[in-house]
Each structure stands twice: as structure tokens, then as C-alpha cells.
Structure 1
């Protein structure tokens, strides 16, 4: 491991420091048949449409943000196709402004401290992780590695004895910048494993390797400039559009089966080549280094309440689908036992959409980590990605119960999982 501006053309406008989403509406669509699903999918590459969720399963809703210029035409098309819908957010900018107001009213913690009543910036996250490594040197190792385009760095936290003969649970969060609840969840997992004595049994026989913010450039940019930014921040040659979808940039069936876009302005742009982003190179190098030990790979996202396993590039199921389903059901039951939050389980392709070059597919297909998942955390009611800070503690706490269930499975099935 190494130690170490431009915006989509039609979607938003810049006012003062922040990008404005004034007049953008969020629609919830309720497709009733395959024709509806296919019609909705035809808008996926349109610059005025940002799909926040697009499940394949009938009965689940599709959520999309639409630019003001396209709203009338879109609504007319929905009526024509007889697709039921409702407006989830009347004006996205008002929701984001309310979030900024809440953040401005929060008191800043001392450097090296963390809370789950607010979303933390990158420097606060890294200061906390550094402090943990100093306070608990016997069980925590913190490393900054893989510098990025904006001169940030990825963080790796190793928790446990950190020896080559112990199974590893590998977790990565925050590959999509706007999904703030994902890094918060990684931080909560870290805090509970390290600072909560009641959870010390979880590091007795298993080591944990966690990257809390895979996309630090995008994460910072979503705080300072464009709240709903998703991709990395590396400029694309020959295009005015910036960034790559890191979760389409892994070298396993990259750009296959319509599961990613070759358009640099698309939210699912896969890049010029697999692993052409420093962020995914960083994940690749660390995950590859410890792949022989890793028994479980988790990629934490939001939003939608899904527990997804490979494959994303094809409708076929992996050979160990029964085991993947079994563990997913155990995780789901543990989460539901806290607040009643339910998750939909299945393969990425069959539950959501085709998605090629994603990290869990790569972890399973290239590294041979049999148990690989995406966990899509809840959104905030009508807020979507803008989960209110007041809900952080509930989401991270119930998610940790699912992590406990995953740990128990790995700990109790180490011999079975050995390669």
C-alpha cells in the first residue's frame, strides 16, 4: 500500500457557494407491470433525471429526482402510460437548506471525538480514528493510504489482533459521496468494536478491516458544494463532466450487460477502464492483500433497505446462493428485531438493476470471498439520501445488530468458510 469543478450540464445551478436544487422534484413511481419498469428505465441516461432507487421487483417504488424543465413532459408521459405516482419532495432545495440549517446549529466536538447526532467531515473522521489508534494501540491500527485527486487519502482501520491466521470481516463505506449515513455506520461499527467493552467478544476470534470513506473527494464535495454529488472528482478527458461511479469501476465483468454507462455525464459512468480511479485502486490493493483471510465482504450504501448479494451483472445466481440467502436472512432478522425495519433480500440484478463492475461482485468473483454483500441502508422518509441527523443513531444502532449476526455466523463457521 502507498502512503500517501465542473458539473453536469443541465441538472443544477450554482448560487453562492452551494449548488442549488431549486425546483427539482422527487417522484415516487409505482410500476405495475414489466412494461412500466421498462418505460421508467428509458429515462435512466437522461441528464434531467437522477434515479435514487430503481428496483426491479413489482410492488416496490422507484424514486427519481427530475429537473424543472422536464417535469411537465414526464408527468404527461406517466399519465399516458398509466403509471401511478406521487410527489415525494416538492422542492429538493428546501430540504437541503433545512439540513444545512440543522448542521449550522450543532456544536462542534473536540478534535478526536465523534457523535451520532451529526454527520462529520473527513478531517473529523480521520482525527477520531487517529485518536482511537493512540488510545487503544493493542487492538487498533490506523493508516492513511492511497492519495486522491483532491489530495485527500483513504483511511484503513484494522481492529483485533491483526494476524495472518485469523478470519477477517472487510467493510467499505462511502463509495458514493452523497450517502452520508454509510460512513456514519462504519464509524459506529468501529466505535462499538473498540470502545464498547460489551462487544470485545467480537474481536476475540475475528479481525475487522474497515475503510470508512472510500470516496473522500466526493464526500467532501457533497458537504461543501453539491449535496447530492455521487461520483469521484477526477476530471474526465474530453468531457465537461467530472468523476466516475466508483461502484462501477471494479474489474469484474466491467461494463458488461448494460450494468454501467460509457457516458461521462452519467451517474453510473464506469470510467475509461476498470480501476482507473485512485479510490478503487486503494480498495483493490487492500482487499487483495487480505483476501486469503477475508470471510465476509460488506459494501455499505444508502438508500433503500436491501441486502444484496452477487451477481449484479447477470440474472444468474452464484453457486453458494443458499448460504448467501441464509446469512442475509439472519442479518435482516437481527436488524428488524430492533425497530421493525425490514429489508428486501436477493441478488443485485434481480432485486434492483443490472450493475456491472461493482465491488461485491469483484470481491466474490475475483478474490474468491464467498460471502459478499451490499447493504442499502434506510432513507429518511421523504428525505431520501438526506437522512436527518436525528435519525443517525437509530439507523446505525439497528444496523450494528445485523453486523453482530454476521460476526456470529463467521465466527461459528470459520472451518466451513476456509478455502
Structure 2
């Protein structure tokens, strides 16, 4: 499709939290926190010219592309929109235990035969392009590198991922007053409509505020659930930083629904916290995955001949270091500078201007089933890492007890790979104690195209983990 040429919509500069009017009027004493000065840490903005520039291996394939990456993918036309067609593409899990594995994978990537989906210290998940299956198979077998096929036809998985609702669900939709179901992945309009519905239905505890605009002018809507007690703690939760990770906004909106609909009967641990939710950090990219390219990752701002920055490499703390690319065509392009993107900048300005003293920051991603704490920028640990490990394991135990899924706990760089400029590191640098990145299900069988039937089970077990965190926050 090439890069977008739409005029950049100016970011709403937040001089206070009330950048735009509330959808509802709260009861006296239940306003959002007034603006206060929150100290920002010293950010190291020096560019690293030769750092690690891939999520799993040091590939810079996209950097040599003269056109946007999506121009190199086959397209089909549907509803007057050209959609990327992944028919015949496969997803493999490749062992990287052999010393030559990274070099071989780099070579295959440089020949544009594969693309990285993610991985850890022992394996990497790769997307093998349709016409490259035989070539990649022969190469890996020749080099004695173990692999197995997780997805045989990626487009088939995409087609099956989000089936339409049955008549009973559609009827329920009409009666509820909103379209959210958690039996289906929903478009941004449904998600934002759901937030507005809750604000109108529960005005004494729920409010919605746009903290800024995306590049294409979409609202970045934050919903707050609070009974207004001055003694309340505060927790911030976001989702959808990476566009293709659909399970993330679905899980975050599930949390919202559970707390808002059941607040009167919730535990004190939940009621004694001011909950702030930003379900879709990257609304432009999220819509693009629904309309054009299901596997789009970045935001949609144009950079030369390529589109998008990786918002989770654009936050100011240790920006530009390992695992963040300086090349605009890369999947992990860090942006032109720290907080160069309107979406990440809006979050930073919100934290700077709000009076809330956050005890925890959780950012939900997919996939892999990991519960990660800082630091991500390098193989280092914060002073309170033992406490983060202990609480993380308690959350993981609650998840497993509820739904059976096993989540590994550890630092981002230690358990996975270095990735500088992440939102979790930045939040930790603000002295927010409990900072975690949660990589949701699964472990690769479906990867980014997790069927909608998994939404409720994944959300339910992660809600159990969130309750553990709430309990810990209230003990502080």
C-alpha cells in the first residue's frame, strides 16, 4: 500500500488531565486527580549505532527495502479494500540451540524468504513465505537445524480466527446496549462505544477521557473505575500497543467489564484502587489489521518510503538501545526520537500531568505466556527484582490454578531478549513499583491469530492474576 499521506493530526497537548470533556459528570469528590508535578527520570537519548536491532536475531532486512514492507506481500481485494493475502504462508518454530542457527536465519531473512514472529533464547518463530517453503526446508535440513511447523496455512488460520456471531449473541448485543461480547474480536468503534456506554450507565464510578489523538486522529480513550476515595491506590493497564495482538484489547476490555458491572460486590482489594485502562494504545494500527494487513505491528505514521514506528521501542527511558532499530522499514523501528509518536507521547504527558500516584503499571501483549518485569533495555535487574519475581510468580500461580496455562516469570531481557524503549522500562523509571509486561496466550500453535473462542478463557485466568496484584498493591 505504501506509506500514508494523510495530514498528521496534531496531538492534543495535555495541560491537564481534562484535555477533552468528560462523557459523564461524576459525583462531587469523584473527579479525576488534579494535575500535579511528577518527576521525570533522566533519559539516556544517545543513539546506539551498532546495537541489537531485532526482537530475536540481528536482522535488518526491511532496512534495505525501498518500498513499505506491505508492498512485497500479495493482496486480495475485499469490500473495496486491498487485503494482504497470506495463503500458503507457514509459521515454524526453529531451534536456535546450534551455534550457526542465528546466522542461517539471518541469511534467510536477508533473502526475504522469512520474517520473524518472536522467540526467546532457545527458539524463534518465523513466518515462511509461500514460495520459500521448499528453499527454507532444504536450508535448515542441510544445516541440521531442528524445526517444526506450527501453522501450515496462515491465511486459513486468519479466516477461521474471528467467525461472525450467531443469532443468539446478536440478540444479546441489542439488549445489552453495546456490541462487546468477548466471543469475537471487535473493531475500535465497538470498543470505544463500550467504554462510552459504561460511563453513561455507571456515572458514579466510571468516566472516560481522551488523553490525546493517534497519528490518524483517533482518540486514545482512557476509562477510569473509581469510587473516589482519597485513600485509594492507583493502577494503570494498557493493551494493543502492537496492532496485530488482538487478544490484548479483548482481555483488557474483559477486565473493564468485570469491574464496572460488578463493582458493588467486588472485593475491597478491587474497590480500593483507582483503575485506569487504555485498551487500545495503537488504534490506527489496530484498524489497519482489521482492514488491510492482519499481521501489521507498528503504528501508521509514514517515514520516507515505509510506514510505522514500533511504539514499544519509542518510550523515552534508554531509548535507542539494544533491540531497537534505527531503520524505518524495520518491524522494530524506534521512531525518530524518544516519544516521537503521538500515541506514546500522549501516555507520557498523561503520566506527567495526572495527580494519581500509580502503584502498578501492566501492559498486555501476545504471545508466549510470559510475565515479565524490567529491565528490558539490557540484561540488568532493578533493585527490587526479587519482590517483582515473587509477586509475578504468585500471579502466574493464580493464572495456572484458574485456567491451567503456565506463564514463565522473569526479566524481559533475561527471559526473552533485550529491547530498549519499552513502556514497561519507562514506567519503572517513574518509580512505579509493580511494572509488568504480560505476554498472553498461546505459546505458538496459533500465535498472533488466536481464535476468538480463546478470549474468555485467557481473560478469565488473567483476571485471577490481576486480583493477586490488586491484593499486593493494597498491602503496600
TM-score (norm 1): 0.90
**Is 1:333 paired with 2:397?**
yes
| Cross-structure match for 1:358 | 422
Structure 2 unmatched runs, 5+: 1-13, 22-66
Cα deviation, residue 268, structure 1: 0.7
What aligned pairs does 1:28-177 form with structure 2 within 5 A after superposition? 28-33=93-98, 35-36=100-101, 39-40=104-105, 47-56=112-121, 58=122, 61-99=123-161, 102-103=163-164, 108=170, 109-110=173-174, 112-162=178-228, 165-177=231-243
| Higher radius of gyration, 1 or 2 | 2
- 3-state DSSP class of the match of 1:267? coil
| Cross-structure match for 2:321 | 256
- 3-state DSSP class of the match of 1:171? strand
Structure 1 unmatched runs, 5+: 414-419
Cα deviation, residue 377, structure 1: 0.2
Q: 2:91 aligns with which of 16, 26, 30?
A: 26
Shift in alpha-carbon separation, 1:403–1:291, aligned structure 2, 3 A = farther
Cα deviation, residue 68, structure 1: 2.8
Cα deviation, residue 148, structure 1: 1.7
Alignment partners' CA distance in 1, 2:192 and 2:219: 10
Alignment partners' CA distance in 2, 1:307 and 1:33: 27
- 3-state DSSP class of the match of 1:103? coil
Contact between 1:165 and 1:293, CA under 8 Å: does it hold in 2?
Answer: no
Query: How big is each residue's C-alpha offset from its partner over 1:159-203, in whole Å with a ceiling of 9 and x where there is no partner?
Result: 113566532111110000111110011101111111124425344
Query: How big is each residue's C-alpha offset from its partner over 1:103-144, in whole Å with a ceiling of 9 and x where there is no partner?
Result: 376764335242111111111111111111111111111112
Deviates more, 1:202-211 or 1:181-190: 202-211
**Is 1:369 paired with 2:436?**
no
Shift in alpha-carbon separation, 1:79–1:288, aligned structure 2, 3 A = farther
Cα deviation, residue 285, structure 1: 1.7
Alignment partners' CA distance in 2, 1:265 and 1:3: 34
| Cross-structure match for 2:383 | 319
Alignment partners' CA distance in 2, 1:44 and 1:278: 31
Alignment partners' CA distance in 2, 1:225 and 1:242: 13
| Cross-structure match for 1:178 | 244
| Cross-structure match for 1:8 | 69
| Cross-structure match for 1:379 | 442
Q: 1:212 aligns with which of 279, 293, 296?
A: 279
Deviates more, 1:197-206 or 1:33-42: 33-42
Task: Quote the RMSD (CA, aligned, Å).
Answer: 2.3
Cα deviation, residue 292, structure 1: 5.8
Contact between 2:424 and 2:437, CA under 8 Å: does it hold in 1?
Answer: yes
Cα deviation, residue 286, structure 1: 1.9
- 3-state DSSP class of the match of 1:281? helix
Alignment partners' CA distance in 1, 2:212 and 2:344: 10
Contact between 1:305 and 1:342, CA under 8 Å: does it hold in 2?
Answer: yes
Cα deviation, residue 214, structure 1: 0.4
Structure number with higher relative contact order (C-alpha < 8 Å, ≥ 6 residues apart): 2
Query: How big is each residue's C-alpha offset from its partner over 1:260-308, in whole Å with a ceiling of 9 and x where there is no partner?
Result: 1112111111111111111111211223334761011101001100001
- 3-state DSSP class of the match of 2:150? strand
| Cross-structure match for 1:283 | 347
Alignment partners' CA distance in 2, 1:84 and 1:73: 15
